[in-house]
């Protein structure tokens, strides 16, 4: 196998550098709430912990019943992590961190498969690492980062097939795709099927983009069928899982019906989201590289396929386009649905676009201009909200770096410009993560308040899942949830009472207000945020903690 190795010892240094950067970028802060959250994560972590407590490892459970919303693989990873590291937010989220770093390494490895220079591959992988997609979902126990790692794994091995022609790589790519079913179901098989479709179209239309002429193309058609067959052989994995659940559980038939019908098919049939939402995801999760990505896409679509590397670039870029079109169907339009194909598009564009041309220089320049403006904008809330010295230590360097790169732009060579543009983007993401996010964080249970909680708590709110917020933050507490007016309220003299996001709630008789702390109101629009910068109290509401009068009096000094 030595003659087909794509990477050498020098690549090891770059890979170790990416691992170090990955942990430095993603690991800090995952034990808290000063990050971009996602509501479903509360349910995922609660499922992990309840399943461990009930020793229901094969079929994870939530609220005492099988969690039929998702297949179990992510929950299994969370259980394994908490079994090794103990019960905490950072332990539950560690699988996402490791999957994020693996994704970055696979981006580098895929580019090196096609002999992209090491430094270029390193910079592209760094761009992906320091994009909002990783900074958010690489720190949350969500299916999305697992899907991303699986998708890039499929691309990595399918790229090796394109480069070397080995069917064993096709089988491994198919195996990764089949196992990915256990994260979110058959949607991933649609993604990988669209990649094979893009490859077949590029192959049959030939390198010169002439229509199929039926002279010599029969061999290519046989190749398409052979690859498709080998790729899909590992689908025996999800089939075995489906049969196991169907026959091993008394409610297996109902679980499968619910999962396939309500969690998959119905979500393509009921329109309830704006059409432009998926494009908003492209603009948001590619930040701070959005301008650069748009410019590279425009250049990539004008390129011709004249080599295996460019064929691969077109396949990966077309896959991103096809998946985007798929999610323009009703309902499947959440912005984060672009996450699995954003790195594919980045790899494809990197294989198709020259990094030494005037076009790329202009794109990198204007992206750095936007980055400089964003770095200045991040500083403004710190001034208005009276931030401390630590905020400026984390935020001001981004302004200085981006400004310095722009001032020296015309005196730098192409390599220095590329490195400067990447450094400016990395700096602004660090400013956002380590300055802006802690500044605006309003935790649901501040550490100083937690010390006053009783060990038995009742959370009162309109949303059932709000109880998971506190179960995740306070794993050693006995926590129940109650909806206002419910006849089965958990509010009684033995439990402390947390009134969560309810402005007009009167506690039962015998309770006394002990503490209150602010959180941001939900559903704030841009105009509300801008007008409230000088008056943050207008954008906040209080969470209130009550105890029975006897308990409150005992806790007083």
pLDDT of residue 212: 43
Peptide bond into 288 cis (omega under 30): yes
- Whose CA is closest to 426, among 257, 323, 287? 287
- Segment 209-229 shows an average pLDDT of 69
166, with CB counted inside 10 A (0-12, 13-18, 19+), is: middle
Angle made by CA atoms 424, 288, 198, in degrees to the nearest 5: 125
Sign, CA torsion 477/480/481/487: negative
Angle made by CA atoms 426, 428, 431, in degrees to the nearest 5: 110
- Whose CA is closest to 186, among 246, 152, 232, 140? 232
**Which of 304 and 362 is assigned the larger pLDDT?**
362
- Is the pLDDT confidence value at 213 over 60? no
- Whose CA is closest to 164, among 299, 1, 310? 1
Distance in angstroms (rounded) separating the CA atoms of residues 420 and 463: 47
Distance in angstroms (rounded) separating the CA atoms of residues 8 and 15: 11
pLDDT of residue 214: 43
Distance in angstroms (rounded) separating the CA atoms of residues 198 and 162: 13
pLDDT of residue 553: 55
- Is the pLDDT confidence value at 13 over 80? yes
CA dihedral 282, 285, 287, 289 (to 10 degrees): -60
Reported confidence tier of residue 549, pLDDT bands at 50, 70, 90: low
Measured N-to-C along each axis, helices 89-113 and 342-352 cross at an angle, to the nearest 10 degrees, of 20
Identify whether the C-beta of residue 150 lies closer than 8 Å to the C-beta of residue 185: no
Q: Which of 74-83, 194-203, 215-224, 299-308 has the highest mean pLDDT?
A: 74-83
| Radius of gyration from C-alpha coordinates of the chain | 26
Reported confidence tier of residue 197, pLDDT bands at 50, 70, 90: very high
- Is the pLDDT confidence value at 244 over 90? no
pLDDT tens readout for residues 245-268 = 877 776 667 767 666 666 666 666
pLDDT tens readout for residues 458-517 = 999 988 888 888 988 898 899 999 988 777 778 777 789 999 998 888 888 888 999 999
Reported confidence tier of residue 206, pLDDT bands at 50, 70, 90: low
Domain boundaries, the chain: 8-267+276-352, 358-431, 447-555
364: left (phi over 0), alpha (psi -120 to 50) or beta: alpha
**Which of 331 and 312 is assigned the larger pLDDT?**
312
Arithmetic mean of pLDDT over the chain: 86
Instruction: Give CA separation, 459 vs 345, 455, 547, in Å.
Output: 44, 13, 12
465, with CB counted inside 10 A (0-12, 13-18, 19+), is: middle
Distance in angstroms (rounded) separating the CA atoms of residues 263 and 69: 7
**Helix (H), strand (E) at residue 513:** strand 511-520
Measured N-to-C along each axis, helices 389-407 and 358-384 cross at an angle, to the nearest 10 degrees, of 160
pLDDT tens readout for residues 83-99 = 999 999 999 999 999 99
């Amino acid at each position: 196998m030595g003659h087909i190795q794509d990477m050498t010892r020098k690549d090891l240094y770059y890979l170790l550098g990416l691992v170090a950067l990955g942990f430095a970028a993603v690991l800090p802060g995952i034990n808290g709430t000063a990050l971009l959250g996602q509501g479903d994560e509360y349910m995922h972590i609660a499922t992990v912990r309840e399943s461990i407590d009930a020793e229901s490892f094969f079929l994870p459970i939530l609220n005492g019943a099988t969690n039929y919303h998702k297949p179990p693989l992510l929950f299994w990873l969370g259980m394994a992590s908490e079994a090794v590291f103990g019960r905490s937010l950072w332990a539950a989220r560690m699988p996402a961190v490791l999957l994020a770093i693996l994704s970055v390494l696979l981006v580098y490895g895929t580019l090196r498969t096609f002999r992209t220079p090491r430094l270029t591959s390193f910079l592209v992988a760094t761009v992906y690492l320091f994009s909002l997609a990783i900074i958010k979902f690489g720190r949350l126990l969500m299916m999305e980062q697992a899907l991303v790692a699986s998708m890039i794994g499929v691309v990595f091995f399918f790229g090796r097939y394109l480069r070397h022609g080995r069917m064993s790589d096709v089988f491994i790519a198919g195996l990764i795709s089949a196992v990915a079913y256990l994260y979110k179901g058959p949607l991933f098989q649609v993604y990988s099927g669209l990649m094979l479709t893009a490859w077949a179209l590029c192959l049959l239309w030939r390198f010169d983009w002439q229509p199929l002429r039926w002279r010599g193309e029969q061999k290519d058609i046989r190749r398409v069928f052979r690859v498709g067959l080998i790729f899909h052989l590992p689908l025996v994995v999800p089939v075995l899982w489906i049969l196991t659940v169907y026959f091993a559980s008394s409610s297996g038939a109902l679980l499968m019906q619910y999962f396939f019908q309500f969690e998959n098919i119905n979500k393509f049939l009921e329109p309830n989201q704006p059409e432009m939402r998926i494009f908003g995801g492209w603009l948001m999760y590619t930040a701070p590289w959005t301008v650069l990505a748009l410019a590279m896409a425009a250049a990539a679509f004008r390129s011709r396929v004249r080599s295996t590397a460019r064929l691969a670039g077109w396949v990966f870029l077309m896959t991103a386009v096809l998946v985007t079109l798929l999610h323009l169907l009703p309902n499947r339009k959440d912005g984060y649905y672009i996450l699995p194909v954003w790195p594919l598009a980045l790899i494809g564009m990197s294989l198709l676009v020259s990094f030494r041309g005037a076009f790329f220089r202009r794109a990198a320049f204007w992206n750095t201009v936007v980055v400089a403006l964003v770095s200045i904008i991040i500083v403004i809330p710190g001034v208005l909200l009276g931030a401390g010295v630590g905020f400026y230590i984390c935020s001001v360097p981004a302004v200085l770096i981006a400004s310095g790169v722009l001032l020296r732009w015309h005196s730098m060579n192409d390599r220095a410009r590329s490195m400067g543009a990447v450094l400016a983007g990395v700096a602004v993401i660090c400013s956002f993560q380590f300055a802006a996010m802690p500044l605006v964080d309003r935790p649901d249970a501040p550490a100083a308040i937690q010390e006053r909680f009783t060990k038995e708590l009742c959370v009162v709110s309109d949303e059932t899942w709000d109880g998971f917020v506190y179960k995740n933050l306070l794993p050693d507490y006995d926590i129940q949830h109650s909806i206002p007016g419910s006849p089965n309220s958990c509010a009684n003299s033995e439990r402390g009472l947390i009134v969560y996001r309810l402005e007009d709630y009167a506690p039962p008789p015998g309770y006394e207000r002990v503490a209150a702390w602010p959180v941001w109101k939900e559903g704030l629009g841009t105009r509300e945020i801008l007008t409230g910068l000088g008056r943050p109290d207008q954008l906040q509401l209080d969470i209130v903690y009550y105890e029975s009068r006897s308990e409150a009096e005992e806790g007083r000094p």
